Amino acid sequence: MPHVNKPLDEQVIVVTGASSGIGLTTAEMAAERGARVVLAARNGAALAQVQAAIEAKGGKAIHVIADVGERADVARIAERAVEAFGGIDTWVNNAGLTIYGPLTEVTDADHERLLRTNLWGTVLGSLVAVEHMRARGGALINLGSVGSDLAFPLQGMYCASKHAIKGFTDTLRMELMQAGVPVSVTLIKPASIDTPLPQHARNYTDREPKLPPPVYPPAEVAEAILSAAVNPQRDIYVGGAAKVLSNFKTLAPGAYDRLGPAITALQRRSESPRDPEGALYVTKPDGQARGSHPGYVMRRSAYTRGSLQPLPTALLAAGLSAAAALFLRAGSRGPRS
């Protein structure tokens, strides 16, 4: 008989990268809905601040200072969760960083550091979480990206890490199903989300980085994560733009490649870099869910909200397929001046 996940207000939820952005928003929202939350990140001061805010509202949380690229740290997150709350019901692998710069200019050390956080952190978190949930069941939720399906210039290794997370997540899901392990596995694929990710990035360019539009609020990703914790889905795109772009790349990869110059331009602001070193190796002031995107941020994603409901999903998929076809037709004509 398939495993049925607990209601959210009966769950213990581990969230990595909980000091800012999507992780912070997810942790706060989960606590507001009654879950007991385990906050993990490198920045202890920010985690303590988040925990205090949750507890001030009557929620229950603990925090663990950890580098997800180190197995001992990840194991300690799980141990603290068990000690404080008796077990783990959902584990969210959210911690991640990015680098802005051409692949040929980024150092090997910086590439390796990004992969250790984004990919290896997800691998370690998944393996540790599955061992703790193997007997009791639960949900594993990994944060991929629209970059799991396609690529964009200036963030090549970030896209590579998200492609690898998709391959790892898909394989782990198959192996758990084959072994009869009652752990659901979901991959979340957000479009651009208004978080401090660009401000925390290692930046090799001569301009302050930004997110390409359309941009969505982190609460949309948090809604998808918490939905998957109770009602698992295989993959969830956050933002209709993510689904449209993924379909476009699949249908016309050559046409998508020709969008490279436009995608590059959309990731650059006019001002000079504020903090080129970023948070790749050291922690930065955190505790902020939202970033500083200079343009319009969507209030919500009708596509994502609809996709979390079983009945409208087929209709939404059909509508987005039609949109992708129109995008393909326009893209096949080539870029215009």
336 occurs within a structural domain: no
Q: What is the pLDDT of residue 109?
A: 98
Q: For tokens 């992969």, what's the residue?
A: 115
26 occurs within a structural domain: yes
Report whether the peptide linkage leading into residue 253 is cis, meaning its omega lies within 30 degrees of zero: no
337 occurs within a structural domain: no
1-15, 164-178, 271-285 — most confident range = 164-178
Q: For tokens 């970030």, what's the residue?
A: 158
2 occurs within a structural domain: no
CB-side neighbour CA atoms (13 Å) of 144: 28
Active-site entry in 100, 158, 256, 303? 158
Expressed as residue numbers, the domain containing 60 is: 8-331
The answer to whether the CB of 61 falls within 8 A of the CB of 29 is no
- Burial (CB count within 10 angstroms: exposed 0-12, middle 13-18, buried 19+), residue 54: buried
* Residue 69 belongs to domain with CATH number: 3.40.50.720
Split at pLDDT 50, 70, 90, the class of 2 is low
* Annotation marks residue 281 as catalytic: no
Q: What is the pLDDT of residue 335?
A: 47
44 phi and psi angles, rounded to 5 deg: -65, -40
Residues 214-240: tens digit of each pLDDT? 999 999 999 999 999 999 999 999 999
Residues whose CB is less than 8 angstroms from the CB of residue 180 and which lie 6 or more positions away in sequence, other chains included: none
Model pTM? 0.90
161 phi and psi angles, rounded to 5 deg: -65, -35
3 occurs within a structural domain: no
Residue 192, helix vs strand vs coil? strand
Q: How many domains does the chain have?
A: 1
Q: What amino acid occupies position 183? A: V
268 occurs within a structural domain: yes
Split at pLDDT 50, 70, 90, the class of 337 is very low
The answer to whether the CB of 247 falls within 8 A of the CB of 316 is no
209 occurs within a structural domain: yes
